Structure 1
Amino acid sequence: MDTHVVDGSVEWMQEEKAELVVDGKVDWKGRRALKHKHGGMKVSLLILGAFAVENMATLSLAVNFVSYFTGIMHYELADAANIVTDYMGVSYMLSIVVAVVADTWIGRYKSVVISGFIESLGLALLTVQAHMGSLTPPICNVYVKDAHCAKLSGKQEAFFFISLYLLAFGSAGLKASLPSHGADQFDERDPKEAMQMSSFFNGLLLAVCIGGAVSLTFNVYIQDRYGWDWGFGISTFAIVLGTILFAFGLPLYRIHVAHTKNGIIEIIQVYVAAIRNRNLSLPEDPIELYEIEQDKEAAMEIEHQPHRDIFRFLDKAAIQRKSDVQPENQETPNPWKLCRVTQVENAKIILSMLPIFCCSIIMTLCLAQLQTFSVQQGSTMDTRITKHFNIPPASLPIIPVGFLIIIVPFYDRICVPFLRKFTGIPTGITHLQRIGVGLILSCISMAIAAIIEVKRKGVARDHNMLDALPVKQPLPLSIFWLAFQYFIFGIADMFTYVGLLEFFYSEAPKGLKSTSTCFLWCSMALGYFLSSILVKIVNSATKNITSSGGWLAGNNINRNHLNLFYLFLSILSLINFFVYLFVSKRYKYRPQHPAVTGGNSEE
C-alpha cells in the first residue's frame, strides 16, 4: 500500500505500483496520478480541442490582419505587414516568459486558464474598437491613387495597440502551456505511452488544421461579409468556450507540479560556476565531479543525468574544492559556485539544441511573407470559384490546410508504423530527420512562389493592368495559382514544426519542458522580427535601382518586385538547410532517449 497525505487526511490506495505515474505528476487534489484514471490519449483530446479553438480564433487574424490594417486603420502596406509580423513576433517571444512562470510557479494548467482569459479580453477590446466609429478613422478608399486618408489619433492608436498586445500575451500563454500540458498526459518512460505522445504531437498539427479550416473559411467570410466587429466577436466567443471546456477536464489531467527552482536560473548558475572555476583542472575520472546521493526515493522525485563527454568546459562547474565539501547536517553548497553533474548535463542539453533552434528561424521568416504579401497578391487576382461565389484571398491557405487534415492522420497511422518496421524508431524517423525534410520543402516553396509571382506580373503587364485597383479590376488569372506555394509550405509545416515541438519537449530537462517547447515559438518570434527588419533592409538597399522606391515599397504590388524577394528567400533557405545538415549531424541525443534507438548522431 502507498500512503498519501492530502489536506491533512490520510488516504490508503490499493492500486499496484504499476498503475502509478512515476514521473512525479499528480492529480488535481495533489495525489500521485494513476495511469488508468488520469491522462492518456482520450484525456489529451480536451487539450487538442482547446488548441484547435485557439487556432480557429486567431489564424484568420494572422492572414487577414493586413487587410484590416490597410483598409480600416489606413496603414500603408509595408507598415501593415510589419505590424502583423511584430505582433506575431511579440506573441511568440512572450511565450518564453509565460513558460518560465508555468514551469516555476503556477503550473501549466493555471497558465492555460489565465492566458485564455487575457486573450478573450484582448479580442473583446478589438471587437469594441471595430464596432465603434469613434475609435477608428473615417472611411476612405486607400487604393485610390494619391488618396489622403485620415490616420488613427493618439488615443485610437493607444487603444488599438493595448488590445492587440493583450491578444498577443494571451495567445502566447496558450501556445506556451497547451502543448507541454498535453505531453504531460503521457509517461516518456513507458514505450507504449511514448508512441502515444508522438501521436499527440501529430494531433497538435491536425488540431491546428481543423481549427484553421474553420478560421480560414467561416471566420474570414464573416470578417469580409459582415464586418470586423462580428469577426472579432466570434473569435472572442470561441476562446471563452475553449477555455471553459479545457478547465472542465481538471479531474482527469495528470498535472505537472511547478518547481520552486527556476530552470533558466539553474542553467545560468552552471555558466557562472564554470567561469569561477575556469582555472581548476578537470579530474580524469568524471565520477569525482559533484552529484548528490541517488537513492530509490530520490530517483523518483529528483532528476539524474549521466555524465557525457561533450562541452567539457562546463564540467568545471561541478568540480568540488575542499571548501565546498559540506558536513551531512549542513546545507547544500552555493549553486553559483558548485553545481550538480545533472545540472551541468542539463545545461549541455540546452546548449546542444541552440544550433537546431537557430536553423529554424529562416523558415518562419519565409512563412511571415506568405502570411502577408500572398494575401495582397490574391487581392489582385480572379477570386471566383463559381459564377456567384468568390474565395476571399485570406482564405487561400484552406487548400494546404484541407490537404493536411487528410495527410496528417495518414502519416501518423500508416507512414509512421511502416517506417518503424525498417528503422526501429517509435516515431518512424528521428526528430532531426523530420525537421530537415521540412526545411528543404520550405526552400522549394519559396522558389515556386517566385515563379508564380513572375507569371502574375506577366499577366498584369500583358493586359496593361499594372496600375489596376485590386478590388475593381482583378487580373484574368485565378487565385488558385497561389495554392502551389501554400501547398508545399503546408507539408513543410507538418514535418518541421511538429518535429521541433517533439524534439524540444523530448530532449529538454525535466524542469524545462514548457520552456523548451517555447523554443519553437521563440524561433518563430525571431523569424517574424527578422521579417520586418528584412523588408526595411531590402527596400533601403533597392530604393535607388527601382522606380517604385524599393522592391517592396508602396501599396501597388503590381509595381513591386516581390518575385525577386521570394527568390532571395529561397536561396537563403537553401543555405540554411546546408547549415542545418552540418549541425544536426553533430548533435548527440540525450541518453536513453525514447525516440532514438540506434546511433547518437543525425544526418
Structure 2
Amino acid sequence: MTNHYNEEHSTVPLLQHGKQVSLDFYGNRALPLRTGGARSTFPVLLFNCLAVLSLYGVSYNLVLFMVSKLGLSNAAASSQVSIWTGVHDFSPLLVAYISDSYLGTFVTTLAGSFVFFGGLALLSLAVLFLEHQDSPSLAVTWLFFVALYVVALSKGFVASLLAFGAGQFDEEDPVEAASKSSYFSWYYFCSSMGLLLAVLGVVYIEDRMGFSTALFVCGGAILLGIAVFCGAAKLYRYDCILTGNPFAKLLHKDSRSSLAGILWVWLGSVVYETMKAQTFSLFVEQAALMDTKVGGFRIPPASLNSFDPISFLVWTLVYDRVLVPVMRRATGNSRGFTFFQRMGAGLVAMTAAMACAAVLETERLANFHRQRGTIVLWQIPQFVLIGGSKVFYYVGLVEFIYERAPENLRTLGVGMVFFASSVGCFLSGFLVSITSRITGERGWIPRNLNDGHLDYFFWLLAALGSANWLFFLAYTNLNDWSKRKL
C-alpha cells in the first residue's frame, strides 16, 4: 500500500518535526502499539529468505545448463552468466529509483516480486521444453533468455523489501531504534540462510530431478513469500510519497553533505567488494590444487564457500546476543557499536582474510615443491573471517547508508550497496587481468598456479585492504560524525 499525497491538501499532517509520518493499512496515522516494530518485520525476514533461496536456486548450475542444453561453449556460457549477474546486481538501483520516486517501498516490493515470479514461471517452462528437446529451438531459446533477464531485472525488489522493513521502526523511540539496528543483522542472517538452503537443497534437487523441477520449487518458494508478506499487511507502517520532485531534498545543503559522505564511504565499499569477489574465483582455484580428500570423502572445491554463510550465521548470533549487549552497557550507545567502529572492524577482518589466504598459499606452494599435499580444510579460517567481516562491515554499511540518506532516497541508498558488489566484481577481474599482464605468463597468476605466486596477489589485496582501512580511519576522524555516536 502506497499513499500519494499533496502536502497542501492532505488532512493528515505528513511531516512532523521534519520527518514523514507513517500511515497504517487504512490510510490513518500509524499507531505504535498496533503497527510496526520488530513483530512486523518477521514476515519481511521470511520473505527475504525465500527470495534469496529462489534467486540463488536459479544462478547455481546455470552455466552448466547453458553448456549441456543450449550447446554453448564454456567461455560463451561463462560470459552469458557474467552479463546476467551484472544486470541483476544493477537492478536494485533501477528498482530503488522507482520506489523512491513513484511507488513507495511496499508497492514496489509487491510488484517486483510478482514480476520475479512471472519470470521464474516462464523460465521453468523454457527449461522444461529444453530438457525434452534434442537440439534447442530458436523460439524456446529466446523464451529462455527473455525469462532469465526478467528474473534479473525484477531481482531488485529485495532493495525495496529491505528498506520497507527498516521503515517499520521509529527512530525517535529508544527501544525501536535498538531493534532497528538488530533488524539489519537479522535481514542478512536470513539472506545467508536462504543462500545455504539454495546450496544444500535446491542444488541437490537440480542434480537429482532436473533444473526445471528446481525452478518450480523456487517459484513455489517466492509465492509462499508473497503470501506471508501480504498476510501481515495490517501490521505494517506505510510510507507516503509526496507529490512533486522526489529529488528536491538534494537541493538542501545538509542533504548534499550527507550524500557526499555516503559517496566517500561507498567508494571504500567497492574496494571491500573487490576483495570479497575472490571467494568465487581465486579461492576456488586455490582449493582445486589442494588435497580435497577428507576421511574418505572428496570435498568439491567450490563447496568450501558454504562456510561463508555458515560463519555469517554464527557471527550474527555472537554479535547480536553477546557483543552488542556488552557494548551497550560499556558505551551507552543503543546500537552497541557506532557505525564506524562496526565497519572498521569489518575492514580489518576482510584484510586479515586476504593475509590468511596469502599465508596458506605460501605454505601450499612449499608443500607442492616438497611433493606433499595441503588439506583443503585449511581454507576454513579465511572463510570464517570473511563471514565475520560481512556481519561487521557489510551490515553496518547498509545501516549507515540508510540512516544518512535523505528520507525520500533511502531505497536508492540501499540499491547503491548492491551495485557496489557489481562494481567490485568488475574491478576484481580487471585487477587480475592487469596483474597477469604485468607479471607475465609465468608470473603471479599463470595458467598453472603451481608455477606462479598467487600468494603475492593475495598480499597485494591485503595491502589494498590496509590502505582502504587507513583511508576510512582518516576520513571518519576528519568529520564530526563520530562525535554524534554514528
> If the length of structure 1 is used for normalisation, what is the TM-score?
0.69
- The structural deviation recorded for 1:28 is 2.1
Alignment of 1:83-102 (within 5 A): 84-102=81-99
Residue matched to 1:403 = 311
Residue matched to 1:188 = 171
User: Does structure 1 residue 449 correspond to structure 2 residue 357?
Assistant: yes
Residue matched to 1:297 = none
Residue matched to 2:257 = 348
Q: Which moved more, 1:513-522 or 1:371-380?
A: 371-380
Give the structure with the larger helix fraction: 2
User: Does structure 1 residue 357 correspond to structure 2 residue 266?
Assistant: yes
Q: Which moved more, 1:477-486 or 1:492-501?
A: 477-486
User: Does structure 1 residue 546 correspond to structure 2 residue 430?
Assistant: no
- The structural deviation recorded for 1:559 is 6.2
- The structural deviation recorded for 1:439 is 1.1
Tell me the alpha carbon deviations over residues 354-374 of structure 1, each in whole angstroms, 9 at most, x when there is no partner. Answer: 111111111111222212343
Residue matched to 2:195 = 212
- The structural deviation recorded for 1:108 is 0.8
User: Does structure 1 residue 33 correspond to structure 2 residue 33?
Assistant: no
Alignment of 1:106-505 (within 5 A): 106-133=103-130, 161-174=145-158, 176-264=159-247, 266-267=249-250, 270=251, 343-379=252-288, 381-384=290-293, 386-387=295-296, 390-456=298-364, 477-505=374-402
Change (3 A) 1:413 1:558: same
Residue matched to 1:580 = 472
Tell me the alpha carbon deviations over residues 450-484 of structure 1, each in whole angstroms, 9 at most, x when there is no partner. Answer: 33344445556665xxxxxxxxxxx9654323222
Q: Is the 8 A contact 1:129 1:136 kept in 2?
A: no
Cα distance in 2 for residues equivalent to 1:551 and 1:234 = 43
SS of 2:40's partner is: helix
- The structural deviation recorded for 1:536 is 3.6
Residue matched to 2:46 = 49
SS of 1:397's partner is: helix
Cα distance in 2 for residues equivalent to 1:381 and 1:362 = 28
SS of 1:353's partner is: helix
SS of 1:96's partner is: helix
Cα distance in 2 for residues equivalent to 1:65 and 1:568 = 32
Q: Is the 8 A contact 2:445 2:452 kept in 1?
A: yes
SS of 2:156's partner is: helix
Which one-letter code corresponds to 2:239 in the other structure? H
The structure with the largest alpha-carbon Rg is 1
Change (3 A) 1:217 1:380: farther
Cα distance in 1 for residues equivalent to 2:342 and 2:429 = 28
SS of 2:281's partner is: helix
Tell me the alpha carbon deviations over residues 129-177 of structure 1, each in whole angstroms, 9 at most, x when there is no partner. Answer: 5444479998xxxxxxxxxxxxx99878755543433222222122x11
Change (3 A) 1:501 1:160: same
Which one-letter code corresponds to 1:228 in the other structure? F
Which one-letter code corresponds to 1:120 in the other structure? F
- The structural deviation recorded for 1:64 is 5.5
Cα distance in 2 for residues equivalent to 1:164 and 1:552 = 33
Q: Which runs of 5+ in 1 are unaligned?
A: 1-5, 7-21, 139-151, 271-342, 464-474, 590-595
Q: Is the 8 A contact 2:346 2:393 kept in 1?
A: yes
Which one-letter code corresponds to 1:256 in the other structure? D
Which one-letter code corresponds to 1:41 in the other structure? A
Which one-letter code corresponds to 1:186 in the other structure? F
Cα distance in 1 for residues equivalent to 2:450 and 2:355 = 19
Tell me the alpha carbon deviations over residues 14-44 of structure 1, each in whole angstroms, 9 at most, x when there is no partner. Answer: xxxxxxxx84111222111111111111110
Cα distance in 2 for residues equivalent to 1:164 and 1:567 = 38
Tell me the alpha carbon deviations over residues 564-583 of structure 1, each in whole angstroms, 9 at most, x when there is no partner. Answer: 43332222222211111121
- The structural deviation recorded for 1:551 is 5.7
- The structural deviation recorded for 1:488 is 0.7
- The structural deviation recorded for 1:250 is 1.3
Which one-letter code corresponds to 1:492 in the other structure? S
Q: Which runs of 5+ in 2 are unaligned?
A: 6-18
Cα distance in 2 for residues equivalent to 1:371 and 1:134 = 28
Q: Is the 8 A contact 1:419 1:429 kept in 2?
A: yes
Which one-letter code corresponds to 2:153 in the other structure? F
User: Does structure 1 residue 507 correspond to structure 2 residue 399?
Assistant: no
Residue matched to 2:10 = none
- The structural deviation recorded for 1:183 is 0.8
* Paired positions, count: 469
Cα distance in 1 for residues equivalent to 2:156 and 2:117 = 13
SS of 1:360's partner is: helix
Change (3 A) 1:61 1:36: same
- The structural deviation recorded for 1:59 is 3.8
- The structural deviation recorded for 1:246 is 1.2
- The structural deviation recorded for 1:98 is 0.9
- The structural deviation recorded for 1:538 is 3.5
Q: Give the % identical residues.
A: 28
Which one-letter code corresponds to 1:372 in the other structure? S
Change (3 A) 1:348 1:251: same
Change (3 A) 1:265 1:456: farther
Cα distance in 2 for residues equivalent to 1:551 and 1:371 = 19
Cα distance in 2 for residues equivalent to 1:399 and 1:136 = 38
Change (3 A) 1:378 1:237: farther
Q: Is the 8 A contact 1:89 1:524 kept in 2?
A: no
Residue matched to 1:566 = 458
Cα distance in 1 for residues equivalent to 2:161 and 2:209 = 32
